[in-house]
């Protein structure tokens, strides 16, 4: 999406959402409770009439989080009779019977007041946090609530996966470096000088457990910003056993660990994963074990979209549907993969003149618009060389190990 009215792109939606009074959380389940707890954490739950909705086809409870639980039929009657739809929002937190129920009541998924809770749909227009809560918070309270932030802590990795999206396989070992604590501190201070709350903040790499400064990162977050971050976690390839100092810092920062499970292709992962899980259990540190069915290959060496005009590139970028920003050098880059290629010196950072906004120079509303996909051009130059994550996406096996290679630098 190209900025045509910077600073005012969301005014209409913002005014509409600021009037919302009734919130229906569809799913008296764990996700429904997470949704409710997030509203409590943001200190805005008392501003809504919150009602849980659960399918009449299941055995229902009368109360959830101290709020009434009604059936979908009762919710729809309330929406039709008692209230204006414009003042009500439905957040779908349970997949059970969702499609059947929505279509049975002709309550389409594309309506502006029906949202999904699931974090995995973060780039979709119906994501509750990105496309309702963040807009609501800014227009109602002047508070900037950001969906997610990813910080690359190191360019070193002990693995060498085919089509690594951090492009580690293009970084010569002697050039791969850690991001120092001082650099991290500068960065996170910059971000929190503007952003009030972040839903999800994760530290990635390379392999973060290789960075000796990681415990200092975690201590700094714990001491200064932890109360402004809802979900805080580190992503690891599950091949390195965390030392005691790191375990201590993870615990103190209430930071959970995402253990990517590459056991099928990486024997070291199969060996270490149970050991790491045991250690985390012993120290009462939360973790999740993640497996995915495939990865994406951006195929930037062979993709050629240079014949696209600017309108086609904008459509291409929009269909890619990724809102994966990257925060670096006091800037926010609109596509994390583009800046990752620059970090691997596959393109020159100086070439990326229109790929970012400066944190210090941007207003909160510009931040919000940018987070939802607005940019100066509507695309980034790397889109001309990238298969993206949309209809054109190429899927490959997960964590397939390949020999390290080198490319001629641009
Ligand atoms: S584990 Fe694989 S995908 Fe992850 S950073 Fe290392 S090389 Fe890249
Ligand atoms: S097409 Fe590629 S460069 Fe463009 S936004 Fe998508 S992932 Fe980023």
Dump pLDDT digits (tens) for 185-227: 999 999 999 999 999 999 998 999 999 999 999 999 999 999 9
214 lines ligand 1 (CB under 6 A): no
Q: What is the pLDDT of residues 229-285, one digit of tens each?
A: 999 999 999 999 999 999 999 999 999 999 999 999 999 999 999 999 999 999 999
Give me the mean pLDDT over the 34-44 stretch. 96
- Closest atom, ligand 1, to C-alpha of 204: 5
Q: What is the pLDDT, as a whole number, of residue 320?
A: 84
Instruction: Kindly identify the ligand whose nearest atom is closest to the C-alpha of 152.
Output: 1
Give me the mean pLDDT over the 35-59 stretch. 88
Report pTM. Answer: 0.90
Query: Hey, CA dihedral for 161, 165, 171, 176, is it positive or negative?
Result: negative
Q: How confident is the model at residue 167 (pLDDT cuts 50, 70, 90)?
A: confident
Out of 114-128, 262-276, 358-372, 377-391, pick the least confident: 114-128
137 near 189, Cβ under 8 Å? no
Give me the mean pLDDT over the 294-310 stretch. 92
317 lines ligand 2 (CB under 6 A): yes
Write the burial class of residue 209 (CB in 10 Å: 0-12 exposed, 13-18 middle, 19+ buried). buried
Q: Quote the CA–CA distance of 410 and 344 in Å, as a whole number.
A: 11
Residue 300 Cα, ligand 1 centroid: separation in angstroms?
17
Instruction: Kindly identify the ligand whose nearest atom is closest to the C-alpha of 320.
Output: 2
At residue 160, does pLDDT exceed 70?
yes
Do you find a cis peptide bond into 206, omega within 30 degrees of 0? Answer: yes
- Closest atom, ligand 1, to C-alpha of 237: 1
Residue 354 Cα, ligand 2 centroid: separation in angstroms?
14
> How many Cβ atoms are within 10 Å of 284's Cβ, its own excluded?
7
Residue whose Cα lies nearest atom 6 of ligand 2: it is 388
Instruction: Kindly identify the ligand whose nearest atom is closest to the C-alpha of 155.
Output: 1
Instruction: Kindly identify the ligand whose nearest atom is closest to the C-alpha of 339.
Output: 2
383 lines ligand 2 (CB under 6 A): yes
At residue 146, does pLDDT exceed 80?
yes
At residue 308, does pLDDT exceed 90?
yes
Query: Hey, CA dihedral for 249, 253, 256, 262, is it positive or negative?
Result: negative
Look at residues 182, 183, 153, 147 and name the one whose alpha carbon lies nearest to residue 168. Answer: 153
At residue 410, does pLDDT exceed 50?
no
At residue 108, does pLDDT exceed 70?
no
Share above pLDDT 90 across residues of the chain, in percent, rounded to a whole number: 55
Residue 340 Cα, ligand 1 centroid: separation in angstroms?
12
At residue 149, does pLDDT exceed 80?
yes
260 versus 173: which is more confidently predicted?
260
Residue 156 Cα, ligand 1 centroid: separation in angstroms?
9
278 versus 146: which is more confidently predicted?
278
328 near 358, Cβ under 8 Å? no
Residue whose Cα lies nearest atom 3 of ligand 1: it is 164
At residue 66, does pLDDT exceed 60?
yes
């Amino acid at each position: 999406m190209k900025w045509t009215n910077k600073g005012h792109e969301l005014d209409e939606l913002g005014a509409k959402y600021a009037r919302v009074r009734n919130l229906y959380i569809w799913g008296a389940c764990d996700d429904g409770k997470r949704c409710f707890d997030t509203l409590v954490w943001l200190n805005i739950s008392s501003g809504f009439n919150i009602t849980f909705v659960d399918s009449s086809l299941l055995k229902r409870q009368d109360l959830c989080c101290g709020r009434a639980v009604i059936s979908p039929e009762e919710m729809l009657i309330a929406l039709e009779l008692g209230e204006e739809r414009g003042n009500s929002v439905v957040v779908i937190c349970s997949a059970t019977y969702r499609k059947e129920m929505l279509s049975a009541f002709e309550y389409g998924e594309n309506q502006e007041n029906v949202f999904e809770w699931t974090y995995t749909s973060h780039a979709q227009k119906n994501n509750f946090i990105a496309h309702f809560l963040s807009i609501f918070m800014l227009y109602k309270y002047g508070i900037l609530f950001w969906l997610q932030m990813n910080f690359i802590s190191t360019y070193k990795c002990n693995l060498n996966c085919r089509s690594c999206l951090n492009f580690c396989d293009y970084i010569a070992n002697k050039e791969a470096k850690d991001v120092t604590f001082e650099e991290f501190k500068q960065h996170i201070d910059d971000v929190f000088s503007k952003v009030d709350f972040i839903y999800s903040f994760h530290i990635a790499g390379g392999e973060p457990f290789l960075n000796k400064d990681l415990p200092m990162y975690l201590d700094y977050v714990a001491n200064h910003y932890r109360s402004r971050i809802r979900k805080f976690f580190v992503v690891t390839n599950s091949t390195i056993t965390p030392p005691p100092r790191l375990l201590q810092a993870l615990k103190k920062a209430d930071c959970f660990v995402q253990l990517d499970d590459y056991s099928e292709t990486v024997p070291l992962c199969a060996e270490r994963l149970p050991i790491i899980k045991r250690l985390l259990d012993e120290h009462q540190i939360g973790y999740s074990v993640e497996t995915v069915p495939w990865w994406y290959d951006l195929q930037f060496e062979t993709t050629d979209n240079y014949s696209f005009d600017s309108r086609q590139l904008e459509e291409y970028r929009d269909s890619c549907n990724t809102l994966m920003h990257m925060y670096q050098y006091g800037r926010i880059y609109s596509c994390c993969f583009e800046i990752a290629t620059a970090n691997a010196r596959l393109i020159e950072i100086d070439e990326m003149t229109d790929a970012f906004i400066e944190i210090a120079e941007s207003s909160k509303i510009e931040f919000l618009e940018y987070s939802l996909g607005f940019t100066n051009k509507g695309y980034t130059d790397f889109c001309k060389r990238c298969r993206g994550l949309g209809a054109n996406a190429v899927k490959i096996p997960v964590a397939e190990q390949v020999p390290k290679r080198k490319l001629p630098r641009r």
